[in-house]
Structure 1
């Protein structure tokens, strides 16, 4: 069982991911923005982070960069609902995200990506 931190300002996305990941026997910690997510990461042993890019306050790009700079083993999957603008996803990869998804995303593909990243 892995611990996965889900960071997203949309309650519905966080709750959906929590439900899906808990069915896959993972422990899920939720955070509603990058600042809260960074604190949760520092206070818990986290195996994987699933992070929204566009959030108020500390956004996902800033949080991804901070995580991957401070923690060499941080694994981040980034996602965004900014339709048609792959630039955010490309920047997230440059900042250390291992995988990126556009919302709405295929839940099965996301679960497969989680399995693959946890196996690395």
Structure 2
């Protein structure tokens, strides 16, 4: 499966990409939602894993746009948690994410969620 990983934290993005590549997926990486949207349109991945809090274009806006452009794309939202009273992962589900993961997560958790949304 072709996957797009969008996260402004280079180390987290690289870790997710390494895990997915190790499981046989083709991976494209983006540092924010704006770059992610450009790569999405160019490469048409089946799966998008996006962080929520990012510069330039944050994850909720990215999820909404992805869902509007291609309702069938599988989206997993990741976040370091809510800030204050906001439940960002809950909001991500409302706007089209099929699954969410709270950081930090284990390798097997990521692989399990990817397998679940792939089917």
TM interval, short-chain normalised: over 0.9
TM-score where L is the length of structure 1? 0.93
CA RMSD of aligned residues (A): 1.4
Deviates more, 1:90-99 or 1:74-83: 74-83
- C-alpha displacement of 1:80: 0.5
- Which runs of no fewer than 5 residues in structure 1 stay unpaired? none
Mapped to 2, the partners of 1:29 and 1:103 lie a distance apart of 20
Q: Is 1:16 the equivalent of 2:36?
A: no
Which residue of structure 1 aligns with residue 66 of structure 2? 67
- C-alpha displacement of 1:37: 0.5
Which residue of structure 1 aligns with residue 110 of structure 2? 110
- Which runs of no fewer than 5 residues in structure 2 stay unpaired? none
Mapped to 1, the partners of 2:73 and 2:63 lie a distance apart of 9
TM-score where L is the length of structure 2? 0.93
Which residue of structure 2 aligns with residue 97 of structure 1? 97
- C-alpha displacement of 1:70: 1.2
Mapped to 2, the partners of 1:97 and 1:110 lie a distance apart of 14
Q: List structure 1 runs of 4+ shifted beyond 2 angstroms.
A: 82-86
Q: Is 1:55 the equivalent of 2:76?
A: no
Residue pair 2:46, 2:74 contacting (<8 A) in 1 also: yes
Aligned runs of 1:2-41 on 2, under 5 Å?
2-41=1-40
Mapped to 1, the partners of 2:114 and 2:35 lie a distance apart of 22
Which residue of structure 2 aligns with residue 77 of structure 1? 76
